[in-house]
Amino acid sequence: MSRSGQGPKQRVKTAKGRKIGSTRWLERQLNDPYVRKARAEGYRSRAAYKLLELDEKYGLLKGVKGVVDLGIAPGGWSQVVRRRSPVARVAGIDLLPTDPIDGVAILQMDFMDDEAPEKLRAALGLPEADLVMSDMAANTVGHPQTDHLRTMALVEAGMLFATEVLRPGGAYVAKVLAGGADHNLVAELKRHFSTVKHAKPPASRKDSSEWYVIAQGFKGRATEE
């Protein structure tokens, strides 16, 4: 994204009681072109542009009628889906509260809850989904290996859900950390999907460790003997 025409960089004075880290975060928000663009275009978060950029490259939202949004809060990704595919039905889930979005059924609960998958399918109201997307990330503890394992567990759980709900040809996109999905998970994804790629959209901050895994062309569920 071009940074031209943004005006002088804004600085935030360190307020009494405010930590330096918080001041830096505020400065980054004020000077982030994606944050300003999101406000101007009515998106709830800059993360909306990550999905928009992934969609431009991989056509994730082309013709979708049913979408599941894992880790929906604050709702930017579902907003993108509804704007690009107004007829699409969307079901989202998050531990955090999410303000209502037209055409989106929102569940406030833990995706790892045993009842979550069935409730999501019921909320979607369709026999199958075209896309399962996940912007979930585990709460970090500051230990890279532990943080990676916790996030990969969410990615794997999302993948298993996707293989249960997607139509043949459907797609699964999920946030992973630096290095992408591990070899075992990639191998499992390739078992279920025709193509598996990693991408870091321009809207993802350069200093962020996040990447996304894009699995397309779901091969379908094996029929039981």
To the question of whether residue 110 is assigned a binding role by annotation, the answer is yes
175 is catalytic: yes
Q: Cite the DSSP H helix spans in 106-181.
A: 116-124, 144-165
77 annotated ligand binder: yes
What b-and-e string marks burial along 81-117, b requiring 16 or more CB atoms within 10 Å of the CB? bbeebeebbbbbbbeeebeebeebbbbeeebeeeebb
- Assign residue 220 a region: left if phi > 0, alpha if psi is -120 to 50, beta otherwise? left
Tell me whether residue 25 is annotated as binding.
no
- The residue from 16, 62, 175, 200 that is catalytic is 175
Judge whether 75 is annotated as a binding position.
yes
* Burial degree of 60 (CB within 10 A; 0-12, 13-18, 19+): buried
Question: Do the annotations mark residue 94 as ligand-binding?
Answer: yes
| Binding site feature residues for S-adenosyl-L-methionine | 75, 77, 94, 110, 135
| Binding site feature residues | 75, 77, 94, 110, 135
Q: Where in the sequence numbering do the catalytic residues fall?
A: 175
